Amino acid sequence: MKIALMNEFSQAGKNPIILEQLNDVAGELGHEVFNVGMDGDNDHRLTYIHLGIMSGLLLNSNAVDFVVSGCGTGQGTLMSLNAHPGVVCGYCIEPSDAYLFAQINNGNALALPFAKGFGWGAELNCRYIFEKAFTGVTGQGYPPERKASQVENAGILNDVKAALAKDYLDGLKALDPELVKTAVGGERFQKCFFEHGKNKELEQFVRGVIDA
């Protein structure tokens, strides 16, 4: 599995702590991590709005399989990511949230609070969240006897979102070009997107934004 980690400006200073825990867990499970957001306070400035654009591009191009994100409360990032077609983001405060989201909702992104409640032992909480999110088979239901209805409802919700959303590329073109340009301007994001993405139309769009 390819996992993207992205931090926005308000919690950029915590990126090394979060990245270390994610790398440790992912390495043990054979997953690959791409640190595509801010890696410190002086890095390319991103807001949670930019994280949504980045997540949509990475997931819809199949450059990555999963996104780990967050902001101060995690709420803004949750809303931003879920605004994009093809992104199913869950809100995660503790390891049980990660486990239940993986088994019931089986989405492809998590939003964590990196300020609220991020105190003593926070790095352990992050590690255990990642272990529950990425270990074992997802979509098995909880409790197991409710699997059938939970899988059905998750699929229906995905269909509803797809039906209500306009064409993804048309949506991107309707956004403020400067907003998109900032979102795709980071070197690590571009490396992940262009080297691993499999959607030529999205690649052409992003190159056009960068060159504009």
Residues 57-86: pLDDT tens digits? 999 999 999 999 999 999 999 999 999 999
**Residue 56: what pLDDT?**
98
Is 0.85 surpassed by the pTM of this model? yes
| Chain segment 138-185, per-residue pLDDT in tens | 999 999 999 999 999 999 999 999 899 889 999 999 999 999 999 999
Q: How many CA atoms lie within 13 A of 105 on its CB side?
A: 17
What is the CATH superfamily name and number for domain 2-211?
Answer: Sugar-phosphate isomerase, RpiB/LacA/LacB (3.40.1400.10)
| Chain segment 186-209, per-residue pLDDT in tens | 999 999 999 999 999 999 999 999
| Chain segment 83-132, per-residue pLDDT in tens | 999 999 999 999 999 999 999 999 999 999 999 999 999 999 999 999 99
